[in-house]
């Protein structure tokens, strides 16, 4: 059972991670890098589906207009 005092902390951590993601995505464009195989091959390993060889993304700084 989760103690009642840990719930506000986990909610704050979730909100903080969402704010950090919005801040990051507002300053950068997400791009696929050459390390990502195209077309992507999906592999079923047990219950989860994964991308064979990994899924690699890069960040490109946005140009201010």
Instruction: Convert the pLDDT of each residue in 26-45 to its tens digit.
Output: 999 988 888 887 888 888 77
User: What pLDDT shows up at residue 5?
Assistant: 61
Domain that includes residue 26, residue range: 6-61
The residue with greater pLDDT, 24 or 10, is: 24
In a domain, 1, yes or no: no
Mean pLDDT (whole number) for 9-36 = 89
* CA dist., res. 57 & res. 38, Å (int): 13
At 23, the pLDDT band (50, 70, 90 cuts) reads very high
Residue 33: count of CB within 10 angstroms of its CB: 9
> How high does pLDDT run on average in the chain?
83
From the centroid of its chain, how far is CA 47? 21
What does the pLDDT average to over 12-18? 92
Residue 53 lies in a domain: yes
Indicate the number of domains in the chain.
1
């Amino acid at each position: 059972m989760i103690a009642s005092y840990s719930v506000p902390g986990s909610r704050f951590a979730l909100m903080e991670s969402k704010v950090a993601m919005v801040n990051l995505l507002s300053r950068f464009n997400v791009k696929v890098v050459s390390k990502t195989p195209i077309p992507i091959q999906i592999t079923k390993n047990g219950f989860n589906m994964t991308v064979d060889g990994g899924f690699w993304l890069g960040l490109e700084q946005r140009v201010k207009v």
